[in-house]
Amino acid sequence: MPFKGKSGKFKAAIKEVTIGVGDKAVKMGGENVLPFYTFDGGNASAPIVGVYVSDKGVEGQPAAVKAYYEGCATVAEMAKKAAEMPGGDFVVVHFESADPNGDDASVESCMETLKSVVEAVDCPLAVMGSGNDEKDADLLVKAAEVCEGKNVLILSAKEGNYKSIAMSGVQAYHQKVAAESAVDINLAKQLNVLINQLGIPTEETVMHVGTAAAGYGYEYVSSSLDRIKAAALAQNDNLLQIPIVTPVCTETAGTKESLTEEADNAAWGSRDGRAAGMEIVTAAADLASGTNAVILKHPQAVATIKKMIEVLM
């Protein structure tokens, strides 16, 4: 008796979210199959790759990252160079300097930087805050205003500041917003519910459900992503039918593999290769588990992951 495989297509689908404007706009989501199950003939859309730029520049970064941005004197110049990186689909500007526990750069100075970036590039943009809920409640609202008309992705709204960021980012300035939670399906859905109750449709949001670097307790990340996709597609849970974005490089950058110089451990090989490898394996795992967009900084990682996506789609 011939084998007849069961289709992996679902009647439910992930909502499609667009960032950017014009011909360079990119889409996330839209799929009604599991990750990379294009052989099932579903409406799978290709995941996208964001290129990360810190407003603190490239100090302390791997050699290939420094080399790529050589000659760039400003964040705007770095963003313009990032927009040209082979394999990248959008640029992510991280206001790392705004962290109150770090440089504590003022919101005003950060917005001057963001204005220069908006003027320098015409590709889709995402803006990452400092990571401090209170500071970001102001910073990201101002960022949404500065980027009005550009349809940017604001990363991220958390339980402690979602009201101001989501209301201003989406309703006032018509941007997209990421709901950030901590690697847990219940926390992710709860924040989606809270944002939806503000009157913001799920079509205007994405999820940032967190990640870990591969080899650092990643199994829980994979199972959480799998559960979210299963609930969205198999159980038709409309509050989880939202694309997922994952800032991979901010997680992998702090691992010993990415930080240890070759002079300190020659047996490990070059730091540059390890840093790229950590981004690649983590991004590949996140994509296989269901994320729709990954954010990377290393040129080799961006090119490799883009090639992987193209081959599998």
pLDDT at 180 over 70: yes
Type of residue at 263 = A
pLDDT of residue 133: 94
DSSP letters, the chain, are ----PPP---SS-PPPEEES-GGG-EEE----SSTT-GGGT------EEEEEEETTTTTT--HHHHHHTTT--SHHHHHHHHTTSTT--EEEEE-GGG-TTTT---HHHHHHHHHHHHHH--S-EEEE--S-HHHHHHHHHHHHHHTTTS-PEEEEE-TTTHHHHHIIIIIIT--EEEEE--S-HHHHHHHHHHHHTTT--GGGEEEE-----TTSSHHHHHHHHHHHHHHHHTS--GGG-S-BEEE-HHHHTTSHHHH--GGG-GGG--HHHHHHHHHHHHHHHHHHHT-SEEEE--HHHHHHHHHHHHHH-
pLDDT of residue 303: 98
| Alpha carbon distance 260, 90 (integer Å) | 29
The contacts of residue 169 (CB under 8 Å, 6+ apart) are: 140, 141, 144, 154, 157, 175, 176, 177
290-301: average pLDDT: 98
pLDDT at 41 over 90: no
Is the entire prediction scored with pTM above 0.85? yes
pLDDT of residue 299: 98
Query: Strand 17-19 vs strand 26-28: parallel, antiparallel, or unpaired?
Result: antiparallel
pLDDT of residue 6: 64
Residue-wise pLDDT for 97-125, tens only, equals: 999 999 999 999 999 999 999 999 999 99
Phi/psi at 292 (nearest 5 deg)?
-100, -15
69-73: average pLDDT: 97
How many other CB atoms are found less than 10 A from the CB of residue 76?
20
pLDDT at 28 over 80: yes
Tokens describing residue 127 = 């803006």
Q: What is the mean pLDDT of the chain?
A: 94
Task: Let me know: does 261 contact 250? Beta carbons within 8 Å.
Answer: no
Using a pLDDT cut of 70, give the percent of the chain over it: 98
Q: Which of 229-238, 255-264, 298-307 has the lowest mean pLDDT?
A: 255-264
Report in angstroms the alpha-carbon separations of 63 from 48, 75, 160, 258, 275: 25, 18, 37, 11, 10
With b for 16 or more beta-carbon neighbours within 10 A and e for fewer, the 26-65 pattern comes to bbbbbbbbbbbbeeeebebbbbbbbbbbbbbbbeebbebb
pLDDT of residue 38: 83
Higher pLDDT, 171 or 73: 73
User: ∠ at Cα 138 (151, 95), nearest 5°?
Assistant: 70
Tokens describing residue 110 = 């950060």
Report in angstroms the alpha-carbon separations of 269 from 62, 63, 300: 13, 13, 16
pLDDT of residue 5: 58
Type of residue at 299 = P
279-307: average pLDDT: 98
User: ∠ at Cα 289 (283, 64), nearest 5°?
Assistant: 5
303-311: average pLDDT: 97
Residue-wise pLDDT for 266-282, tens only, equals: 999 999 999 999 999 99
Tokens describing residue 186 = 């219940």
41-54: average pLDDT: 89
